[in-house]
Amino acid sequence: MRPDPLVPDPAAPALTRLTEADERWRDHVRAFAEKEIRPLSAEMDRTGALDPGLRQRLFDSGLMSIAIPAAYGGLGGGLFHVVQAIEEVARVDAGVAVGVDVHNALVVATLLRAASGDQHRRYLPLLAATKVGAFAISEEQAGSDAFALTTTARSVPGGYVLDGRKKWTSNADQADVFLVFANGPDGSGVSAFLVDRDTPGLSVVHRTEQLGVRAASTGDLVLRGVRVRAGQCLGGVGGGRALAADALDVGRLGIAAQLVGLAQGALEHAVEYSRTREQFGQRISGYQGVQFTLARMHVDVEAARVLLYNATRVFEAGADRLERTKQAAMAKYFASEVAERTASLAVEVLGGNGYTREHPVERFYRDAKVGKIYEGTSNMLLRSIAAILIGAAS
Protein backbone atom coordinates (compact mmCIF):
# COMPACT_ATOMS: atom_id res chain seq x y z
CA MET A 1 0.00 0.00 0.00
CA ARG A 2 1.45 3.34 -1.03
CA PRO A 3 1.77 6.06 1.61
CA ASP A 4 0.16 9.46 1.27
CA PRO A 5 1.99 11.93 -1.00
CA LEU A 6 4.94 13.61 0.69
CA VAL A 7 4.97 17.39 0.93
CA PRO A 8 8.39 19.04 1.51
CA ASP A 9 8.48 21.78 4.13
CA PRO A 10 10.67 24.54 2.68
CA ALA A 11 10.37 26.52 5.91
CA ALA A 12 12.08 23.88 8.07
CA PRO A 13 15.22 25.63 9.34
CA ALA A 14 18.69 24.16 9.60
CA LEU A 15 19.74 23.54 13.20
CA THR A 16 22.50 26.13 12.94
CA ARG A 17 20.24 28.69 11.24
CA LEU A 18 19.55 31.42 13.80
CA THR A 19 16.57 33.71 14.11
CA GLU A 20 17.25 37.44 13.93
CA ALA A 21 16.85 37.67 17.69
CA ASP A 22 19.32 34.81 18.24
CA GLU A 23 21.78 36.46 15.85
CA ARG A 24 21.55 39.74 17.75
CA TRP A 25 22.21 37.95 21.03
CA ARG A 26 25.17 36.03 19.56
CA ASP A 27 26.61 39.25 18.13
CA HIS A 28 26.16 41.02 21.47
CA VAL A 29 28.03 38.30 23.36
CA ARG A 30 30.74 38.06 20.70
CA ALA A 31 31.34 41.82 20.77
CA PHE A 32 31.54 41.77 24.57
CA ALA A 33 33.98 38.85 24.55
CA GLU A 34 36.22 40.53 21.99
CA LYS A 35 36.25 43.89 23.76
CA GLU A 36 36.16 42.96 27.43
CA ILE A 37 37.60 39.43 27.72
CA ARG A 38 40.18 38.88 24.98
CA PRO A 39 42.55 41.66 26.12
CA LEU A 40 42.61 40.12 29.62
CA SER A 41 42.88 36.43 28.74
CA ALA A 42 46.65 36.02 28.70
CA GLU A 43 47.04 37.73 32.07
CA MET A 44 44.19 35.77 33.65
CA ASP A 45 45.78 32.56 32.41
CA ARG A 46 49.15 33.61 33.84
CA THR A 47 47.79 34.57 37.26
CA GLY A 48 45.13 31.85 37.42
CA ALA A 49 42.44 34.30 38.45
CA LEU A 50 39.50 36.21 37.00
CA ASP A 51 40.24 39.87 36.39
CA PRO A 52 38.63 41.76 39.32
CA GLY A 53 36.88 44.28 37.09
CA LEU A 54 35.44 41.71 34.72
CA ARG A 55 32.99 40.17 37.15
CA GLN A 56 30.57 43.09 37.31
CA ARG A 57 30.89 43.76 33.59
CA LEU A 58 29.65 40.21 33.00
CA PHE A 59 26.55 41.05 35.04
CA ASP A 60 26.06 44.43 33.38
CA SER A 61 26.17 42.81 29.93
CA GLY A 62 23.39 40.36 30.85
CA LEU A 63 25.65 37.31 30.68
CA MET A 64 24.82 36.27 34.24
CA SER A 65 21.04 36.67 34.02
CA ILE A 66 20.23 35.12 30.64
CA ALA A 67 17.28 32.91 31.61
CA ILE A 68 16.17 34.77 34.75
CA PRO A 69 12.70 36.24 34.14
CA ALA A 70 12.50 39.98 33.53
CA ALA A 71 10.39 40.32 36.69
CA TYR A 72 13.49 39.38 38.70
CA GLY A 73 15.89 41.57 36.71
CA GLY A 74 16.98 39.07 34.06
CA LEU A 75 16.73 38.85 30.29
CA GLY A 76 14.06 36.15 30.21
CA GLY A 77 15.87 34.04 27.61
CA GLY A 78 15.87 30.30 27.10
CA LEU A 79 18.34 27.45 27.32
CA PHE A 80 19.48 28.01 23.74
CA HIS A 81 20.52 31.57 24.65
CA VAL A 82 22.52 30.22 27.58
CA VAL A 83 24.26 27.76 25.25
CA GLN A 84 24.99 30.52 22.72
CA ALA A 85 26.53 32.74 25.37
CA ILE A 86 28.78 30.01 26.79
CA GLU A 87 29.92 29.10 23.28
CA GLU A 88 30.79 32.67 22.35
CA VAL A 89 32.67 33.37 25.59
CA ALA A 90 34.63 30.11 25.27
CA ARG A 91 35.60 31.09 21.72
CA VAL A 92 37.78 33.70 23.44
CA ASP A 93 38.42 32.30 26.94
CA ALA A 94 37.18 28.92 28.18
CA GLY A 95 38.06 29.79 31.77
CA VAL A 96 35.67 32.72 31.85
CA ALA A 97 33.09 30.52 30.12
CA VAL A 98 33.27 28.07 33.03
CA GLY A 99 32.09 30.78 35.40
CA VAL A 100 29.28 31.86 33.09
CA ASP A 101 28.28 28.21 32.59
CA VAL A 102 28.16 27.20 36.26
CA HIS A 103 26.20 30.29 37.25
CA ASN A 104 23.62 30.03 34.46
CA ALA A 105 23.35 26.35 33.52
CA LEU A 106 23.76 24.76 36.94
CA VAL A 107 22.71 27.20 39.66
CA VAL A 108 20.17 29.54 38.03
CA ALA A 109 18.65 26.79 35.87
CA THR A 110 18.18 24.58 38.93
CA LEU A 111 16.47 27.36 40.85
CA LEU A 112 14.17 28.06 37.92
CA ARG A 113 13.14 24.39 37.83
CA ALA A 114 12.91 23.53 41.51
CA ALA A 115 12.85 26.60 43.78
CA SER A 116 9.80 27.78 45.67
CA GLY A 117 8.26 31.19 45.10
CA ASP A 118 9.99 32.55 48.19
CA GLN A 119 13.33 31.20 47.01
CA HIS A 120 12.80 32.78 43.59
CA ARG A 121 12.05 36.14 45.17
CA ARG A 122 15.03 35.97 47.51
CA TYR A 123 17.74 34.64 45.21
CA LEU A 124 16.94 35.39 41.57
CA PRO A 125 17.21 39.21 41.79
CA LEU A 126 20.59 38.83 43.49
CA LEU A 127 21.85 36.28 40.98
CA ALA A 128 20.72 38.57 38.15
CA ALA A 129 22.52 41.64 39.44
CA THR A 130 25.65 41.02 41.51
CA LYS A 131 25.81 37.61 43.21
CA VAL A 132 27.63 34.63 41.69
CA GLY A 133 26.38 31.06 42.18
CA ALA A 134 28.40 27.85 42.64
CA PHE A 135 27.41 24.17 42.49
CA ALA A 136 28.92 22.05 45.27
CA ILE A 137 28.42 18.30 44.87
CA SER A 138 31.89 16.73 44.31
CA GLU A 139 33.91 15.36 47.22
CA GLU A 140 37.17 13.48 47.74
CA GLN A 141 35.49 10.15 46.91
CA ALA A 142 32.47 11.54 45.08
CA GLY A 143 33.53 12.30 41.52
CA SER A 144 32.20 9.97 38.85
CA ASP A 145 30.27 8.35 41.71
CA ALA A 146 28.57 11.67 42.35
CA PHE A 147 26.40 10.51 45.26
CA ALA A 148 29.11 8.90 47.38
CA LEU A 149 28.66 11.85 49.72
CA THR A 150 29.98 12.22 53.24
CA THR A 151 28.64 15.75 53.78
CA THR A 152 25.66 15.54 56.13
CA ALA A 153 22.62 17.61 57.02
CA ARG A 154 21.03 17.02 60.43
CA SER A 155 17.73 18.44 61.57
CA VAL A 156 17.64 21.15 64.23
CA PRO A 157 14.72 23.35 65.28
CA GLY A 158 13.86 25.61 62.35
CA GLY A 159 16.35 24.13 59.88
CA TYR A 160 19.46 22.05 59.38
CA VAL A 161 23.16 21.95 60.26
CA LEU A 162 25.61 21.02 57.49
CA ASP A 163 29.01 19.41 58.00
CA GLY A 164 31.49 18.20 55.38
CA ARG A 165 33.98 19.19 52.71
CA LYS A 166 33.37 19.71 49.00
CA LYS A 167 36.08 19.54 46.34
CA TRP A 168 36.39 20.81 42.77
CA THR A 169 33.84 23.56 43.37
CA SER A 170 33.90 25.81 40.31
CA ASN A 171 33.36 29.53 41.02
CA ALA A 172 34.49 28.87 44.61
CA ASP A 173 36.46 32.11 44.99
CA GLN A 174 33.81 34.23 43.30
CA ALA A 175 30.62 32.68 44.62
CA ASP A 176 28.18 34.37 46.98
CA VAL A 177 25.60 31.54 46.94
CA PHE A 178 26.46 27.82 47.04
CA LEU A 179 24.09 25.04 46.02
CA VAL A 180 25.29 22.31 48.41
CA PHE A 181 24.33 18.63 48.24
CA ALA A 182 24.37 16.56 51.42
CA ASN A 183 23.00 13.35 52.88
CA GLY A 184 19.74 14.46 54.43
CA PRO A 185 18.49 13.82 57.95
CA ASP A 186 17.03 10.52 59.20
CA GLY A 187 17.96 8.48 56.12
CA SER A 188 15.93 10.73 53.82
CA GLY A 189 18.50 10.61 51.02
CA VAL A 190 20.37 13.40 49.30
CA SER A 191 19.08 16.93 49.81
CA ALA A 192 20.14 20.27 48.33
CA PHE A 193 20.60 23.52 50.23
CA LEU A 194 21.13 27.14 49.23
CA VAL A 195 23.92 28.44 51.44
CA ASP A 196 25.06 32.07 51.55
CA ARG A 197 28.80 32.66 51.57
CA ASP A 198 28.73 34.72 54.77
CA THR A 199 27.05 31.94 56.78
CA PRO A 200 29.10 31.17 59.93
CA GLY A 201 31.07 27.94 59.59
CA LEU A 202 31.43 28.12 55.79
CA SER A 203 34.88 28.72 54.29
CA VAL A 204 36.60 28.34 50.92
CA VAL A 205 40.10 26.87 51.11
CA HIS A 206 42.77 25.21 49.01
CA ARG A 207 42.45 27.02 45.74
CA THR A 208 43.30 24.44 43.07
CA GLU A 209 46.12 25.20 40.64
CA GLN A 210 45.12 23.66 37.34
CA LEU A 211 46.48 23.02 33.87
CA GLY A 212 43.84 24.97 31.95
CA VAL A 213 40.69 27.09 32.24
CA ARG A 214 42.74 29.06 34.72
CA ALA A 215 40.47 32.10 34.87
CA ALA A 216 37.93 29.82 36.55
CA SER A 217 38.30 29.56 40.31
CA THR A 218 38.22 26.01 41.67
CA GLY A 219 38.54 25.20 45.35
CA ASP A 220 37.34 23.29 48.40
CA LEU A 221 34.26 24.31 50.34
CA VAL A 222 34.42 23.50 54.07
CA LEU A 223 31.24 23.34 56.14
CA ARG A 224 31.59 23.14 59.92
CA GLY A 225 28.32 23.42 61.76
CA VAL A 226 26.78 25.57 59.03
CA ARG A 227 23.22 26.34 60.04
CA VAL A 228 20.58 26.97 57.37
CA ARG A 229 16.86 27.64 57.64
CA ALA A 230 14.27 25.12 56.51
CA GLY A 231 13.44 27.50 53.66
CA GLN A 232 16.94 27.07 52.25
CA CYS A 233 16.32 23.43 51.33
CA LEU A 234 15.81 23.31 47.57
CA GLY A 235 13.47 20.75 46.04
CA GLY A 236 12.37 19.27 49.35
CA VAL A 237 14.10 16.96 51.82
CA GLY A 238 15.37 13.91 49.95
CA GLY A 239 14.86 15.54 46.55
CA GLY A 240 18.51 16.23 45.89
CA ARG A 241 19.34 13.17 43.80
CA ALA A 242 16.75 13.88 41.10
CA LEU A 243 17.53 17.59 41.24
CA ALA A 244 21.27 16.95 40.76
CA ALA A 245 20.68 14.51 37.90
CA ASP A 246 18.59 17.08 36.02
CA ALA A 247 21.16 19.78 36.75
CA LEU A 248 24.05 17.68 35.48
CA ASP A 249 22.23 16.95 32.22
CA VAL A 250 21.85 20.68 31.59
CA GLY A 251 25.40 21.19 32.81
CA ARG A 252 26.70 18.82 30.15
CA LEU A 253 25.10 20.99 27.49
CA GLY A 254 26.98 23.91 29.01
CA ILE A 255 30.27 22.03 28.90
CA ALA A 256 29.59 20.98 25.30
CA ALA A 257 29.01 24.65 24.46
CA GLN A 258 32.32 25.55 26.10
CA LEU A 259 34.12 22.96 24.03
CA VAL A 260 32.47 23.90 20.74
CA GLY A 261 33.36 27.54 21.37
CA LEU A 262 36.95 26.63 22.29
CA ALA A 263 37.31 24.55 19.12
CA GLN A 264 35.90 27.40 17.04
CA GLY A 265 38.40 29.81 18.55
CA ALA A 266 41.32 27.46 17.88
CA LEU A 267 40.16 26.92 14.29
CA GLU A 268 39.80 30.64 13.62
CA HIS A 269 43.27 31.37 14.91
CA ALA A 270 44.77 28.57 12.81
CA VAL A 271 43.02 29.85 9.67
CA GLU A 272 44.14 33.43 10.27
CA TYR A 273 47.72 32.34 10.94
CA SER A 274 47.80 30.26 7.74
CA ARG A 275 46.85 33.35 5.75
CA THR A 276 49.83 35.37 7.00
CA ARG A 277 52.61 32.87 7.68
CA GLU A 278 54.97 32.38 4.73
CA GLN A 279 57.32 29.48 4.08
CA PHE A 280 59.25 28.69 0.89
CA GLY A 281 58.01 31.86 -0.71
CA GLN A 282 54.26 31.44 -0.21
CA ARG A 283 51.61 31.56 2.48
CA ILE A 284 51.14 28.20 4.17
CA SER A 285 47.40 28.37 3.40
CA GLY A 286 48.41 27.55 -0.16
CA TYR A 287 49.74 24.12 0.80
CA GLN A 288 47.31 21.25 0.44
CA GLY A 289 48.49 19.64 3.66
CA VAL A 290 47.47 22.73 5.62
CA GLN A 291 44.24 23.12 3.66
CA PHE A 292 43.15 19.57 4.37
CA THR A 293 43.97 19.94 8.07
CA LEU A 294 41.89 23.11 8.32
CA ALA A 295 39.04 21.52 6.39
CA ARG A 296 38.92 18.51 8.74
CA MET A 297 38.95 20.83 11.74
CA HIS A 298 36.06 22.81 10.28
CA VAL A 299 34.00 19.67 9.61
CA ASP A 300 34.56 18.49 13.19
CA VAL A 301 33.53 21.80 14.72
CA GLU A 302 30.40 22.06 12.59
CA ALA A 303 29.40 18.48 13.47
CA ALA A 304 29.89 19.15 17.19
CA ARG A 305 27.82 22.32 16.94
CA VAL A 306 24.96 20.53 15.19
CA LEU A 307 24.92 17.83 17.88
CA LEU A 308 24.97 20.51 20.61
CA TYR A 309 22.19 22.58 19.06
CA ASN A 310 20.06 19.50 18.44
CA ALA A 311 20.47 18.37 22.05
CA THR A 312 19.52 21.85 23.26
CA ARG A 313 16.38 21.85 21.09
CA VAL A 314 15.49 18.41 22.49
CA PHE A 315 15.62 19.86 26.01
CA GLU A 316 13.57 22.90 25.02
CA ALA A 317 10.96 20.66 23.37
CA GLY A 318 10.39 18.86 26.68
CA ALA A 319 11.65 15.40 25.72
CA ASP A 320 11.56 12.64 28.31
CA ARG A 321 14.31 12.22 30.85
CA LEU A 322 16.19 9.38 29.15
CA GLU A 323 16.27 11.21 25.82
CA ARG A 324 17.58 14.37 27.48
CA THR A 325 20.27 12.41 29.28
CA LYS A 326 21.36 10.64 26.11
CA GLN A 327 21.44 13.79 23.99
CA ALA A 328 23.41 15.75 26.60
CA ALA A 329 25.89 12.89 27.00
CA MET A 330 26.39 12.57 23.23
CA ALA A 331 26.86 16.32 22.78
CA LYS A 332 29.38 16.60 25.59
CA TYR A 333 31.29 13.43 24.65
CA PHE A 334 31.68 14.40 21.00
CA ALA A 335 32.47 18.05 21.72
CA SER A 336 35.26 16.99 24.09
CA GLU A 337 36.80 14.80 21.39
CA VAL A 338 36.55 17.59 18.82
CA ALA A 339 37.93 20.29 21.12
CA GLU A 340 41.01 18.29 22.06
CA ARG A 341 41.68 17.27 18.45
CA THR A 342 41.06 20.72 17.00
CA ALA A 343 43.23 22.49 19.58
CA SER A 344 46.02 19.98 18.96
CA LEU A 345 45.87 20.46 15.20
CA ALA A 346 45.83 24.23 15.64
CA VAL A 347 49.12 23.99 17.53
CA GLU A 348 50.55 21.95 14.65
CA VAL A 349 49.38 24.45 12.04
CA LEU A 350 51.30 27.14 13.91
CA GLY A 351 54.31 24.87 14.32
CA GLY A 352 56.84 26.12 16.85
CA ASN A 353 54.84 29.30 17.39
CA GLY A 354 51.86 27.22 18.48
CA TYR A 355 53.93 25.78 21.30
CA THR A 356 54.53 29.19 22.85
CA ARG A 357 52.36 31.52 24.90
CA GLU A 358 52.71 34.17 22.23
CA HIS A 359 49.67 32.64 20.53
CA PRO A 360 46.38 31.58 22.18
CA VAL A 361 46.28 28.09 20.66
CA GLU A 362 48.69 26.94 23.37
CA ARG A 363 46.09 27.99 25.96
CA PHE A 364 43.26 26.43 23.97
CA TYR A 365 45.22 23.17 23.94
CA ARG A 366 45.56 23.17 27.73
CA ASP A 367 41.97 24.30 28.25
CA ALA A 368 40.57 21.50 26.08
CA LYS A 369 41.84 18.59 28.19
CA VAL A 370 39.41 19.05 31.07
CA GLY A 371 36.51 18.59 28.66
CA LYS A 372 36.99 14.81 28.87
CA ILE A 373 36.93 14.90 32.66
CA TYR A 374 34.45 17.26 34.31
CA GLU A 375 30.66 16.94 34.25
CA GLY A 376 31.14 13.24 33.49
CA THR A 377 34.27 11.59 32.13
CA SER A 378 34.13 10.28 28.57
CA ASN A 379 33.86 6.69 29.82
CA MET A 380 30.98 7.57 32.13
CA LEU A 381 29.17 9.29 29.28
CA LEU A 382 29.68 6.29 26.99
CA ARG A 383 28.33 4.09 29.75
CA SER A 384 25.19 6.23 30.02
CA ILE A 385 24.67 6.32 26.26
CA ALA A 386 25.12 2.55 25.97
CA ALA A 387 22.75 1.82 28.88
CA ILE A 388 20.00 3.91 27.28
CA LEU A 389 20.69 2.48 23.82
CA ILE A 390 20.64 -1.14 24.95
CA GLY A 391 17.65 -0.58 27.20
CA ALA A 392 15.71 1.05 24.36
CA ALA A 393 16.63 -1.78 21.99
CA SER A 394 15.60 -4.60 24.33
Cite the active site residues.
375
Contact 144, 215 (CB under 8 A): no
* Inter-CA distances, 52 with 58, 196, 215, Å: 11, 21, 11
Q: What is the DSSP letter of 139?
A: B
Question: What stretch of H or E contains 179?
Answer: strand 177-183
Please provide residue 30's backbone torsions phi and psi, each rounded to the nearest 5 degrees.
-65, -40
Buried b (16+ CB within 10 A) or exposed e, 149-167: bebebeeeeebbbbbbbbb
* Inter-CA distances, 156 with 63, 127, 161, 191, Å: 38, 28, 7, 15
Q: What is the CA radius of gyration of the chain?
A: 22
Q: How many CA atoms lie within 13 A of 10 on its CB side?
A: 0
Residue 186 burial by Cβ neighbours in a 10 Å radius (0-12, 13-18, 19+): exposed
* Inter-CA distances, 355 with 38, 247, 348, 359, Å: 19, 37, 8, 8
CA separation for the pair 203, 216 (Å, rounded) = 18
